[in-house]
Amino acid sequence: MARSGYNKILALLTGDENVTGILSSICVWAGQGDEKVAILTPPANGSDFDVTSGPGFPSALAEKLAAGAFSDPVLSNNEALTVTKISPDPEISDWRSVALHEGFDSFRAQSLYSKTDRNVGILVAFSAGQREPSAAQVEILEDAAHLATLALRNARIESEYHESQTQLQSLLSHSRDAIYVHVDRK
């Protein structure tokens, strides 16, 4: 089942689906069993994160994560962060009570990095109970992080392409003697 979900998301990446739809599909696919998954992405402006989540992800927890209370311990570490017992962990005091109230007591977080080592987001998975994720769950979450990174990278490339096209059009429109040469796609 896990591989078919992966293939479906790869198909979305190559289609015309928007990045929010793709990230939401990744959260649904990765949130198997009792896990609830969200992807936090830094917005272009402002300090809060944008949160895309699967169904049933608690809105109160999403609000706390959006405020950035979660990012420091994860962004400072290039490896996935797994906490099997949320209740005593001092690093997460900002949102611990909300997670516990929602019935979560363990989580795994993984930073999403572009090829240039630029952080493009964080994938988080919360679980009920105090437990280490199984090898199969870790593999799915790592695949989900890879897919989310691809989706975010594609969205950034597309945005930069459209911005450069707009700038070029503006330059040509406002230039008195514009010359545009197109040879061999250059």
With residue 2 as reference, give the H or E element that holds it: helix 2-14
- The predicted structure's pLDDT at residue 67: 81
Per-residue pLDDT of the chain (186 residues; tens, 9 = 90+): 455 666 666 666 666 678 888 888 888 888 877 789 999 888 766 678 888 898 889 999 998 888 876 666 566 666 788 888 887 766 666 778 888 888 888 888 888 887 777 778 888 899 887 778 888 888 888 888 888 888 887 777 676 677 777 777 777 677 776 666 677 766
CA neighbor of 40 nearest in space, from 16, 15, 57, 23 = 23
- Global pTM value: 0.74
Residues 35 and 128: their CA atoms lie apart, in Å, by 7
3-class SS of residue 72: helix
- For residue 58, what pLDDT is reported? 92
**Phi–psi pair at 110, nearest 5 degrees:** -140, 125
> What per-residue confidence (pLDDT) applies to 1?
43
> Does residue 126 contact residue 61 with C-beta atoms inside 8 Å?
yes
Burial 63-92 (b: 16+ CB within 10 A, else e): ebbbebbbbeebeeeeebbbbeebeeeeeb
Decide if 45 contacts 68 (C-beta within 8 A).
Answer: no
